[in-house]
Amino acid sequence: MSDKPRERKLSRYRDIATRLQKEIRLGKYPVGDLLPTETELMAHYSTSRQTVREALRILMDQGLIVRRVGLGSVIIATEPPVLFTHSVKSLSEWLRYSNETYRDVVRSGEIVADRDLAALLKCEPGKQWFLIESIRRVDQFAAPLGWTEIYVLRKFAGVVKRSDHGRAPVHEQIAKMFGQTTEYAQMEIFVRKMPAAFAKALQVEAGSPALTVVRRYYGLKEELFEVTVTTHPEGRYTYSMDMQRSLRPRV
């Protein structure tokens, strides 16, 4: 079964959210005013209620609107706050960034891991990788969320040419293209100084506080096939996890 209808549906509500964001930013809908109703938005964009609601949910998550029962969608800000909160409730969400963010590819190419890089990736020095460097964003107007370095085995370099590359997790793209499954994954979060190499692109000073998230993906026979390193400037990203104790069934 083709994934294209689903991809079109996902891009549709994101497109509507982006248009509404722009209109709010440009003052078409001032703070304190109401957005058009769901029915009006459905007619304007010739789409379903579910698609409109997903678009409005994005605006809510970004702190631009609040939904009031019996009133509608109230504008509360013209710009989303720089801080982005990533809430995780399942393993699949743990393995990926929020669907409301995307990556702008800056450059890509082959690289050989020296001792420092090998220690970060947890691979042997001298291992060859294909590196894809990107800026992670919520939208084109807000400050960048972070700088992402994606290291994949060279045989998987073709993922960078996919049309959905910037929107979909790379380990999922590798699975679709090459049949590579993720048997288990690791994640590390730590604080470090912002590297000078991408401080300017993130609009911060080199050496300023930064939060780094490293995800490692392993396939069969414990082969490390992808490592994603994302560095966030201070105050732009929060990672939260919701957990619930499993209850044993009564006998």
Count the residues in the chain.
251
Q: How many domains does the chain have?
A: 2
pLDDT at 161 (0 to 100): 94
Q: DSSP of 92-111, one letter per residue?
A: HHHTS--TT-EEEEEEEEEE
The answer to whether 115 touches 125, Cβ cutoff 8 Å, is: yes
Same domain for 119 and 30: no
pLDDT at 63 (0 to 100): 74
- 237 falls within a domain: yes
Same domain for 188 and 96: yes
Same domain for 108 and 67: no
Tens digits of pLDDT across the chain (251 residues):
445 555 555 578 989 999 999 999 899 998 889 999 999 999 999 999 999 999 998 888 777 888 777 788 988 888 765 544 444 455 555 555 656 789 999 999 999 999 889 989 988 889 999 999 999 998 777 789 999 999 999 999 999 999 989 989 999 999 999 999 998 888 888 899 999 999 999 999 999 999 999 999 999 878 899 999 999 999 888 776 666 665 555 54
- 29 falls within a domain: yes
Structural domain that includes position 22:
4-75
CA-CA distance, 170 to 178, in Å (whole number)? 12
Same domain for 111 and 69: no
pTM of the model: 0.64
Let me know how many helices (H) and strands (E) the chain has, helices first: 7, 10
Q: Which of 43, 62, 61, 55 is nearest to 9 (CA)?
A: 55
Residue 9, token pair as written in the block: 């549906």
pLDDT at 79 (0 to 100): 77
Same domain for 201 and 144: yes
pLDDT at 238 (0 to 100): 77
Q: Is residue 38 helix, strand or coil?
A: helix
- 250 falls within a domain: no
